[in-house]
């Protein structure tokens, strides 16, 4: 095992990109969201951001893509910073073991989602953030722009409209939880906020930078504290155990870092106290995680020895 200095990140990324380029079988782009279906599954980008804002990248690392469920990490942080432990009365912290859009557990767990990263849990978090800010999606976008240093980051209205047109299951989740008094806002308002949240386009460079507050134990890019040390630990822990849906165990086994994936093909990962990573490749496995992205993060932790274990 070797310890990587900052100067060695670039050659490591270039080696990983070369290996990924030679790898056959990259999965399939998400086809249940029509606006994502046309993405080239062989696209690949990867970035590493150090705590001082230095960024290294390779491939399509500056190409914006649809962040999708990656944004759930940031809405969780923004809401947890506002309401603290009260949030956990409305959403759990356990792995689900079921697909990210499953309704199964909600019925026998009285409308309390298993964790904040499955769709039901993310809807609850967005709902609570919206109640506290009046514009959850706008609050999220402002945060991501500030942390990434990219004021041009924005929603993708085509993707948001596409998700809304095919959002019956998310609507069902929201209505079911509302029946248990676990949703405060009107369902159409919540769904609009949620779809806009998931439609944000960002690059690997943007996301690696935006995630560094978790590697800095809750400290934002401007030096102010968003989260307590305990809250930052909590989010990293939930990312490790729940961030890649029902493949979280395999991701922890292969990668060994807190991570969060999205069906746009992106993944973010955190090395606490050291750096953050973002990788993008649209080809997904059957569980909704980027095939090349997981492989690249696996190689990164193997080559550098940087993991939480």
Locate 86 and state its tokens.
Answer: 């009260």
Which of 102, 162, 194, 279 is labelled catalytic? 194
User: Quick one: residue 23, left, alpha or beta (phi over 0 = left, psi -120 to 50 = alpha)?
Assistant: beta
Instruction: Check 91, 263, 291, 294 and give the catalytic one.
Output: 263
Q: Could you confirm whether 278 is annotated as catalytic?
A: no
Concerning whether 245 is annotated as a catalytic residue, the answer is yes
Pick the catalytic residue: 96, 245, 278, 294? 245
Q: What is the 3-state secondary structure (H, E, C) of the chain?
A: CCCCCHHHHHHHHHHHHHHHHCCCCCCECCCCCHHHHCCCCCCCEEEEEECCCCEEEEECCCCCEECHHHHHHHHHHHHHHHHHHHHHHCCCCCCCCCCCCCCHHHHHCCCCCCCCCCHHHHHHHHHHHHHHHCCHHHHHHHHHHHHHCCCCCECCHHHHHHHHHCCHHHHHHHHHHHHCCCCCCCHHHHHHHHHHHHHCEECHHHHHHHCHHHHCCCECCCCCECCCHHHHHHHHHHHHHHCCHHHHHHHHHHCCCCEEECCCCEEEEEECCCEEEEEECCCECCCCCEHHHHHHHHHHHHHHCCCCC
Is residue 96 flagged as an active site residue?
Answer: no
Specify whether 263 is catalytic. Answer: yes
The answer to whether 69 is a known catalytic residue is: yes
Q: Which of 12, 43, 66, 72 is catalytic?
A: 72
So which residues are the catalytic ones? 69, 72, 194, 245, 263
């Amino acid at each position: 095992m070797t310890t990587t200095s900052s100067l060695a990140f670039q050659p490591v990324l270039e080696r990983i990109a070369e290996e990924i380029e030679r790898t056959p079988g990259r999965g399939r782009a998400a086809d249940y969201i029509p606006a994502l279906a046309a993405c080239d599954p062989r696209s690949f980008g990867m970035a590493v951001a150090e705590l001082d804002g230095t960024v290294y990248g390779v491939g399509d690392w500056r190409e914006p893509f649809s962040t999708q469920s990656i944004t759930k990490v940031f809405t969780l942080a923004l809401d947890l910073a506002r309401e603290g432990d009260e949030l956990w009365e409305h959403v759990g912290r356990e792995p689900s073991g079921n697909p990210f859009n499953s309704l199964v557990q909600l019925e026998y767990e009285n409308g309390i989602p298993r964790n904040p990263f499955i769709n039901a849990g993310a809807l609850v978090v967005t709902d609570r953030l919206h109640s506290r800010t009046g514009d959850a999606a706008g609050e999220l976008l402002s945060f991501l722009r500030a942390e990434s240093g990219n004021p041009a980051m924005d929603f993708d209205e085509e993707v948001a409209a596409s998700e809304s047109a095919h959002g019956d299951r998310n609507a069902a989740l929201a209505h079911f939880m509302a029946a248990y008094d676990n949703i405060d806002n009107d369902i159409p308002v919540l769904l609009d906020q949620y779809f806009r949240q998931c439609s944000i386009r960002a690059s690997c460079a943007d996301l690696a930078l935006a995630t560094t507050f978790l590697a800095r134990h809750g400290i934002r890019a401007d030096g102010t504290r968003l989260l307590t040390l305990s809250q930052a630990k909590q989010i990293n822990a939930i990312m490790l155990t729940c961030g890649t849906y029902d493949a979280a165990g395999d991701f922890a086994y292969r990668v060994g870092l807190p991570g969060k994936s999205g069906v746009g093909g992106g993944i973010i990962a955190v090395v606490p106290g050291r750096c953050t990573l973002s990788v993008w490749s649209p080809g997904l496995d059957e569980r909704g995680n980027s095939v090349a992205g997981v492989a690249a993060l696996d190689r990164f932790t193997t080559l550098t020895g940087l993991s939480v274990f």
